[in-house]
């Protein structure tokens, strides 16, 4: 079963890792030393992942887009697509 990507009703066909230093259409790689910082008793852990995905639209066309997944221990995960999903519809 293919996973659906909301709100445009796309279906995920393929998900691949572009390589350790590939950011595609995104600006640059942010290199941080150490993964866990302790500030006044609170921890601040964040990581950025890049993926290339193939998605299928409602007319069964396969489109390719890059995804930047910005994770953080405390804050909500942010996902950014390039090109944006609204442009692939």
Prediction pTM value: 0.75
Q: What share of the chain is helix, strand, coil (3-state, %, to 5)?
A: 5, 45, 50
Domain ranges of the chain: 4-88
> Over 90: is that where the pLDDT of 68 sits?
yes
- Rounded CA gap, 64 and 23, in Å? 15
Q: Is 55 buried (19+), middle (13-18) or exposed (0-12) by CB count in 10 A?
A: buried
Token couple for 61: 């066309």
- Rounded CA gap, 86 and 81, in Å? 10
Please report the pLDDT score of residue 29 as a whole number: 61
Which range, 6-10, 30-34, 81-85, has the best average confidence (pLDDT)? 81-85
Token couple for 10: 């796309």
């Amino acid at each position: 079963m293919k996973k659906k990507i909301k709100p445009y009703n796309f279906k995920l066909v393929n998900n691949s890792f572009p390589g350790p230093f590939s950011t595609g259409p995104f600006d640059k790689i942010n290199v941080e030393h150490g993964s866990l910082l302790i500030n006044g008793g609170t921890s601040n852990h964040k990581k950025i992942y890049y993926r290339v995905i193939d998605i299928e639209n409602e007319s069964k066309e396969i489109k390719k887009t890059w995804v930047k997944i910005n994770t953080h221990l405390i804050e909500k995960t942010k996902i950014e697509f390039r090109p944006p999903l609204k442009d692939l519809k």
